[in-house]
Amino acid sequence: MLESVEGRTPFADIAVASVAESLPMEDRFVAPDRTKIALREAFATDLPASVARRPKASFPLPFQRWMGEARETVAGSSMVRSLVRAEVLDAVTTDPNGLWHLAWPLTNLAMWADRWWPDGVSGGERTARTHVVGA
């Protein structure tokens, strides 16, 4: 997560993680149709029932706008081009909303590769820069 975005940062807190780990397994993972049990119970009196009981859902992301900004990064990434067929890459950069499940990881991969393999990937060789923490 050093260079990435974490959408659930409140749950990355060590105190929150410790409490979550201490919960009985049945309060964490029961069945696919019962999710976020501990959170739903903890906030049941603070939230409208329609919110506390609604099914788990994704949140919308502005992929069109993000991909408009990152389209060249994804399309120009030699790492992505070496791993993804051209027709898939074209489809993702043309319709990122429709193919969000591919657009998001490819965007992250392209940005990560640009950071750690800025000279690209050629002939299967990767020349990663050494990263020394605190150097």
| pLDDT, tens only, 61-89 | 676 667 666 777 788 888 898 889 999 99
Domain that holds residue 17: 9-52
31 - beta bridge partners? 34
Q: What is the pTM of this model?
A: 0.48
Residues 44 and 73 in one domain: no
128 in any annotated domain: no
Q: Domain count for the chain, please give it.
A: 2
Choose among 109, 77, 68, 75: nearest CA to 89: 75
Residues 75 and 112 in one domain: yes
Which long-range CB contacts under 8 A does 99-102 form with residues at least 24 apart? 100/61, 100/63
21 in any annotated domain: yes
| pLDDT, tens only, 37-55 | 888 888 889 999 998 888 8
What's the whole-number average pLDDT of the chain?
76
Residues 74 and 101 in one domain: yes
Residues 20 and 46 in one domain: yes
Residues 81 and 45 in one domain: no
Collapsed DSSP state (helix, strand, coil) of residue 63: helix
| pLDDT, tens only, 110-127 | 989 888 887 776 644 444
